Chains A and B, each alone.
Chain A
Amino acid sequence: MNKKNAFPVTPSTIIRLVLVGVFDVAVLSLIRQLLNDGNYPLSGILGVVIVIITLCFSLEKLRYYRWLGVSLAATTLFVLYPILYTIYLSTTNAGYGHILTKQEAVDFLESQQYVPESGQQYKWTAYRSLESIDDYVLWLQAEDDATFLTGIGTATQPASIGEDGVGIADDKGIPTSIQGYQRLEKRDTVAMIDQLGELEFGVAPDIIRITSLTAAATTQQRYRYHSDSDTLTDAETGLVYHPDEGVFTTDDGQELPPGFRVGVGLDNFERFFSSSALRGPLVRIISWNFAYAILSVLCSFALGLFIAVLFETLPGRQIIRALLIIPYPIPALVSILIWRNLLNPDFGALVSLQNSIFGTAPNWLTDPKWTRIAIIIINMWLSYPYFYIVSSGALQAIPTDMMDAAAVDGANAWQRFSKITLPLLLKIVSPLLVASFAFNFNNFNLIYIFNQGNPPIAGSPIPAGHTDILISFVYRLAFNSAISDYGLGASISIVLFLFIAAITWGQFRYTRVLEDQTV
């Protein structure tokens, strides 16, 4: 408050601080829940976000950062965190059967119940609260005809007709009503049996659950985790499980799903670089990845530049330009799907056209060589308009006095183009060529939508295709097969990122993007 003189407390300051406070409280409550799951990475980054937002918007010293605060927080959460999390995943065995954190796996196992041999069996009748649709009580009849009343979170107690709010009995000896509750009819019971089966009546350790339409039973927690010895015991069988490579395992090797994630160090990277089983398909994928990205950029750029130069002075070029740019504004996915259909071996229009002209047509979707050619052609179709636009712009940025001088010196059109225009133009567009290479290197959409990376490589230990690039292979590893190997997928993502980051960083050092154009 002693700062009041220096910084008058205006309504906008108060609104700002209140908003920050509300945000902090909301995020803190999420963090608390995530910590309960044992999800430390996400809790940590949310903590960082809170610090960024709170400091930016409350400290006068950091007032310039306010302009960037929200963007920074969002970027931290949705761009930086996924990168860090990918790095983390790459050092774990996360994947099929190892999705949960250890805490989540323990929580899940500890929630499992079983009916012990000594457990009581009851016939049950359910009554629903008149006030809350989630609150029920059960009227229980034991085998010895003793009767009990039990509710959610309230202890099971002996009860009899006509006492403590229990209403009169029907002809089967079941009360027709219980104070504050309404009896569920048979029909409703059948409809709601799944919901009712999830409810836990009574208090631990004597939890009563509905086990069938007619029976309820005392159940007990089946698995108990001992954090000091790091073991899990099965109360029903007496088996003791130790965590072993991300799954609880007995000494004689019985495993208890679900498994959980554990760190495996750099094993995934080692597999990527030196597993002999993976090497065959990986070498193919990587060499095609490079060939595809380089050829795509070169062909598209060459065609775009060719068009830009050829039609630069042609009468009617505005119309030609408008027509030739048509592939650019069509969403790439739509175009790729159309191309896929045009080239379909069974009923593609282009294939039947080729058949009628040449009597034969290559198999565009199943022959590895032709599928690759098709991908390059389609990518040319997709991206030449971009290079056409960019090259036209760059051509106009090239100063004309040098051309004049060269023309006076007797240089012909080709000499002037190759010796003056092209080098200058390349200097302007080379950052874009590099960016386009980086984009195409990870152009998942084209590869996946055109043919999902197929045709498959025969005999590959992990499903892989002849047109798979690394990123589509990562997708296959993570989402598209029974392997679901997040760890290996994440480690390949990291390698890809380092590669792309290195070339892009090198590229930006030669551009003016980091310079300030005034001041």
Chain B
Amino acid sequence: MTDIQTHSKPIATTSYNKPNFSLNYQQRRWLGYIIRYIIAAILIVFAFVPVVWVLSASFNPSGSLVSIEVIPQNPGFGNYRGLFENQYYPYLTWLRNSFVVASVSTFLSVSSTTVSAYGLSRFRFYGRKTLMRAILIISIFPAALSIIALYTTFQQVGNHIGILGLDSHASLILIYASGALSINVFLVKGYIDSIPLEIEESALVDGATHAQIFRMITLPLAKPILITISVLTFMAIYGDFVLPRVLMQSSDKYTVMVGLYLFQSADYAQNWGVFTAGAVIAALPILGLYMLLQRYIIGGLTAGAVKL
């Protein structure tokens, strides 16, 4: 940042000498700021319209749909109470389902990603390059394209093993966890590649096994990238819609995303205020996670851009 600021100086001086400019350098700089602040304000309004509106509607007791007032007249928690006391839509169960599925899947997925990445980074074995290419190609296939196949597969297996059938969270978790060999494996592998080998070599000389080195040296050192992919994976699974929509069939098995979708496609006008409250609550955990781990998320996205 500071680099670029110092560079801006010479250009400014060159144009300062042009005769047709009536404003001096200082004035033009301020004019530039003002224009940019105005643009920033417009963009912020664009970014915040849905956010402000859903917040205000969720506290609006009238449930008036057309309402465009930003601050409701008699704000209250009525919609939130309605959300948790609704007997037809078990919102809390959905929220819990989402958390269970997303946490377990993230844990399994990140664990197997990391173990695989260590293997790919530290060992040279026959078929390694081919394997990496195959992983790349396979990981491209979007899960949405496999829904028909996944649906029929779990239907068939479910006839014999109920817990691995349709309408079971275990099935959902297995699918998400198996997405481990995806682009994430390359992010982690790249990170482990950059950890110097010397520490591990001296540990090997001291008689440590690879499993010990992995657990006691690599894992702690790779913590930043692990946090990054954990958060991104959790966010992706928590927000996924199509798989739980197709595979989960009874309403107490839905995730919060599927539930929210049903909320608003069901009895529209009646569920109105309750839907907005549900939307706010569903977004809060991810927003919180983001604020807490912003550094890792932005770092991960930037690394993905610069390194891949």
Tell me the A residues contacting B by CB distance below 8 Å: 30, 33-34, 37, 39, 42, 64-68, 70-72, 74-75, 77-83, 85-86, 89, 94, 99, 307, 310-315, 320, 323-324, 326-335, 337-342, 344, 346-347, 349-350, 352-353, 381, 386, 389-390, 392-394, 396-397, 400, 403-404, 407-408, 410, 412-413, 416, 428-429, 431-432, 438-439, 442, 444-445, 448-449, 471, 474-475, 478-479, 486, 489-490, 493, 496-497, 500-501, 504-505, 508, 511-514, 516-519
When distances are taken between beta carbons in the complex, the residues of chain B under 8 Å from A517 are 190, 193-194
What are 12 of the A-B contact pairs (CB < 8 Å)?
A323-B44, A329-B287, A329-B289, A340-B264, A390-B304, A392-B302, A394-B302, A394-B305, A396-B1, A400-B7, A432-B305, A516-B121
Nearest CB to that of A494 among chain B residues? Answer: B145
Task: Supply 4 further A-B pairs (C-beta < 8 A) apart from A407-B10, A410-B14.
Answer: A331-B235, A389-B298, A428-B305, A471-B145
Q: Which 9 A-B pairs have the closest CB atoms?
A: A67-B119, A393-B302, A329-B290, A347-B65, A82-B146, A78-B178, A331-B239, A82-B149, A74-B178
When distances are taken between beta carbons in the complex, the residues of chain A under 8 Å from B137 are 501, 504-505
Question: How far does the alpha carbon of A340 sit from the alpha carbon of B263 in the complex, in Å?
Answer: 13
Nearest CB to that of A408 among chain B residues? Answer: B10
When distances are taken between beta carbons in the complex, the residues of chain B under 8 Å from A408 are 10
Q: Are B308 and A513 in contact (CB under 8 A)?
A: yes
Tell me the B residues contacting A by CB distance below 8 Å: 1, 3-5, 7-8, 10-11, 14-15, 33, 36-37, 39-40, 43-44, 46-51, 53-54, 57, 65-68, 112-113, 115-116, 118-121, 123-125, 129, 131-133, 135-142, 144-153, 156-157, 159-161, 174-175, 177-181, 183, 185-186, 190, 193-194, 197, 235, 238-239, 241-242, 246, 257, 260-261, 264, 269, 275, 279, 282-283, 286-287, 289-291, 298, 301-308
When distances are taken between beta carbons in the complex, the residues of chain B under 8 Å from A85 are 149, 152-153
Question: How far does the alpha carbon of A86 sit from the alpha carbon of B136 in the complex, in Å?
Answer: 19
B155 to chain A, nearest CB (A): 8
Q: Are B7 and A407 in contact (CB under 8 A)?
A: yes
Q: Are B298 and A86 in contact (CB under 8 A)?
A: no
Given A75-B138, A337-B279, A311:B241 Cβ within 8 A: no
| Contact of A312 (CB < 8 Å), options: B1, B144, B287 | B1
Question: How far does the alpha carbon of A70 sit from the alpha carbon of B108 in the complex, in Å?
Answer: 11
Given A81-B153, A315-B33, A328-B290, A514:B136 Cβ within 8 A: yes
Q: Are B149 and A514 in contact (CB under 8 A)?
A: no
When distances are taken between beta carbons in the complex, the residues of chain B under 8 Å from A74 are 112, 174, 177-178, 180-181
Main secondary structure of the interface of A (DSSP, over half): helix
Question: How far does the alpha carbon of A332 sit from the alpha carbon of B238 in the complex, in Å?
Answer: 10
Question: How far does the alpha carbon of A148 sit from the alpha carbon of B84 in the complex, in Å?
Answer: 58
Q: Are B305 and A513 in contact (CB under 8 A)?
A: no
Question: How far does the alpha carbon of A81 sit from the alpha carbon of B67 in the complex, in Å?
Answer: 50
A267 to chain B, nearest CB (A): 17
| Contact of B264 (CB < 8 Å), options: A37, A315, A341, A394 | A341
| Contact of B148 (CB < 8 Å), options: A331, A335, A490 | A490
Q: Are A75 and B181 in contact (CB under 8 A)?
A: yes
